[in-house]
C-alpha cells in the first residue's frame, strides 16, 4: 500500500482508499467490502482485565482496515490474506483444520477463522488485503484490531452476525491459542463496542460496559509512543498472569477481582513479596479505574490526572511492567505540571515499552509535545511520536463512498 503523508496518516478515508487501490492491484478486481477496526488506548485499568476487573479504554483514530471480495470461482474454499505492511500473504484452505503457521501475523487470522468454524459457521472463499496505520508493539491493540476486523469481515461474508461479547471472546481465544498471548478481554471489547462520546468503562467479568462522556473540549488525550517496541508473547506477560492466579489462590478467591485491600494486606507474609505486590496492584487499580471514570464524567480532570500518576507508580513498582523510557516520559510530564498544561500521565498497554497516555489542556498540547520530545531525546537518546485522538466508534463496515 502506498505510503501516507503526515497530513493524512490518521485519516480513515485516506487509509481506506489506499487499501482499496492496493486490493485491486493485488487481486485484479474491486473490493466489495471494507472493514475499519480501531486501535485503542487504555486510559486506566492495566492488567485488571484478565483478573475479572475494570478497565477504561478508548478507541482511537488509528485503524486496521480489511478490504475484501469473494474469491474467484476456481478457489471457492480458499481464503487469501495479503498484508500491505509486510508485503507477505497467506492462503487458508477451508477444507483443512486450522493450525498455527507463518508468517506470524497470519496466526491472528487463522485463529479467527478457526473460531468461526468451531461455531459451525459456513465460510466462503475470500480475497482480502490488510492495511493499517496502527504502530505494532506500541500497546495500542494492533493485534485486537486485526482480529476484530477479520471477524467482522467473516460475519458479513457469511451472513452470520455474532453477539458482540461472543465475538470478543472468539477473538480472545484466537490470540490465546494461535498467537500464544494469554490476553484479557479488554482490547477486543473496546475495538467492538467503543462509542465516539468517550471511553468505555468495561466490567471484564460480565462483559458489560457503559460510555463515560468526555465533554470538555479543553482537555485532550495525548498519546506518546516511546518507540520501544514490546512483545507480549515473550513470556513476561504470561508470567504476570500466572502470578495473579497464584495470588488469588493464596487469598482463597476465584480471581483478584474478588479480593479487597484488607485481604491483601493481611496476607502479605503468606503471599510473599512478589505475589503481594501483584495482588496489591490489581486491587488498587480496580479502585482507581472506577474512581477515574467518576472523575472524568464529572469533569474533575485534576482528580483523574492524580489517579493516572498513582496508576503508573503501581505498574512500575508493584507490577513491574514499566521500563526506563516510559518512566522518563511520565516523569517529564509530571514535572511540567498543570501550570504548563499537564493533568496526569501514565504508561498504557501491557508494558515493557509502548506508549504513555497523558491528559493535557488542549491549548497547550503542542508545547507539551515539544517538551516531551526534547527531554526524552536528551535523556534516552531515542525519538518519540505523539498524536492526539478523540474517541471514535468501534469496528464497522465502511460505505462504498468512503473509499471510491
Point out the residues that are catalytic. 187
Q: How far is CA 384 from the centre of its chain?
A: 19
Cα–Cα nearest to 131, from 17, 23, 8, 19: 19
Contact 325, 377 (CB under 8 A): no
| E runs forming strands in 331-400 | 342-348, 355-361, 385-388, 396-397
337 phi-psi bin (left φ>0, alpha ψ -120 to 50, beta other): left
Beta bridge partners of residue 130, listed in sequence order: 66, 83
Contact 207, 338 (CB under 8 A): no
243 φ, ψ to 5°?
Answer: -65, -40
> What is the rounded CA–CA span in Å between residue 284 and residue 148?
30
> What is the rounded CA–CA span in Å between residue 193 and residue 202?
10
Amino acid at each position: 500500500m502506498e505510503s501516507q503523508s503526515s497530513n493524512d496518516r490518521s485519516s480513515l478515508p485516506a487509509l481506506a482508499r489506499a487499501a482499496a487501490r492496493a486490493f485491486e492491484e493485488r487481486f485484479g478486481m474491486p473490493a466489495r467490502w471494507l472493514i475499519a477496526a480501531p486501535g485503542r488506548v487504555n486510559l486506566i485499568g492495566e492488567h485488571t482485565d484478565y483478573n475479572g476487573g475494570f478497565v477504561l479504554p478508548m478507541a482511537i483514530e488509528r485503524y486496521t482496515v480489511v478490504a475484501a471480495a469473494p474469491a474467484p470461482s476456481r478457489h471457492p474454499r480458499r481464503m487469501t490474506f495479503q498484508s500491505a505492511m509486510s508485503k507477505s500473504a497467506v492462503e487458508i484452505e477451508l477444507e483443512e483444520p486450522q493450525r498455527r503457521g507463518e508468517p506470524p501475523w497470519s496466526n491472528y487470522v487463522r485463529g479467527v477463522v478457526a473460531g468461526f468454524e468451531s461455531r459451525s459457521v459456513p465460510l466462503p472463499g475470500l480475497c482480502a488485503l490488510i492495511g493499517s496505520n496502527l504502530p505494532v508493539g506500541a500497546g495500542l491493540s494492533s493485534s485486537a484490531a486485526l482480529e476484530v476486523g477479520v471477524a467482522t469481515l467473516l460475519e458479513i461474508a457469511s451472513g452470520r452476525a455474532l453477539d458482540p461479547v461472543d465475538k470478543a471472546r472468539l477473538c480472545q481465544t484466537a490470540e490465546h491459542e494461535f498467537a500464544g498471548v494469554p490476553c484479557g478481554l479488554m482490547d477486543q471489547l473496546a475495538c467492538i463496542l467503543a462509542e465516539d462520546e468517550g471511553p468505555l468503562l468495561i466490567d471484564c467479568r460480565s462483559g458489560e460496559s457503559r460510555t463515560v462522556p468526555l465533554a470538555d473540549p479543553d482537555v485532550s488525550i495525548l498519546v506518546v509512543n516511546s518507540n520501544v517496541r514490546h512483545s507480549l508473547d515473550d513470556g513476561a506477560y504470561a508470567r504476570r498472569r500466572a502470578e495473579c492466579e497464584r495470588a488469588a489462590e493464596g487469598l482463597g478467591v476465584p480471581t483478584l477481582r474478588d479480593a479487597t485491600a484488607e485481604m491483601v494486606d493481611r496476607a502479605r507474609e503468606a503471599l510473599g513479596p512478589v505475589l503481594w505486590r501483584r495482588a496489591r496492584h490489581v486491587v488498587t487499580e480496580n479502585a482507581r479505574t472506577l474512581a477515574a471514570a467518576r472523575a472524568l464524567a464529572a469533569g474533575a480532570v485534576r482528580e483523574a490526572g492524580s489517579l493516572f500518576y498513582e496508576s503508573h507508580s503501581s505498574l512500575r513498582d508493584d507490577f513491574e511492567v514499566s521500563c526506563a523510557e516510559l518512566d522518563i516520559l511520565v516523569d517529564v510530564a509530571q514535572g511540567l505540571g498543570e501550570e504548563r498544561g499537564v493533568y496526569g500521565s501514565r504508561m498504557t498497554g501491557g508494558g515493557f515499552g509502548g506508549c504513555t497516555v497523558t491528559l493535557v489542556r488542549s491549548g497547550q498540547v503542542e508545547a507539551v509535545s515539544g517538551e516531551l520530545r526534547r527531554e526524552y531525546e536528551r535523556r534516552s537518546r531515542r525519538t518519540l511520536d505523539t498524536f492526539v485522538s478523540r474517541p471514535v466508534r468501534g469496528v464497522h463496515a465502511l460505505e462504498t463512498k468512503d473509499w471510491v
